[in-house]
Amino acid sequence: MGPHRRAHNDGELLAEITSGNHSVEHFESVDRAVPGLTVDTTDGYCPDLDTVARCVVPPN
């Protein structure tokens, strides 16, 4: 296994968001060549957890 690499400096990012110096609307996700799914966890799961699971585990 290769060396561990952070995609984002989470500690610094969280400190900037907390202090008001960074908006979560400006977040840049990691660019990868695989399908992705954005899940809003503000109030439960949207899309719902069954939909998330189907995205992660294909049907038999």
Which residues, at least 6 apart from 22, have a Cβ–Cβ distance to it below 8 Å? 13, 16
Higher per-residue pLDDT: 46 or 55: 46
∠ Cα 47 59 41 (to 5°): 20
Question: pLDDT per residue over 14-47, tens digit each?
Answer: 888 889 888 777 777 777 788 888 889 889 899 9
- Single-letter residue type at 60: N
Residue 5's pLDDT is: 60
Domain boundaries, the chain: 35-60
This prediction's pTM: 0.47
- Helices marked H in 1-60: 10-19, 49-56
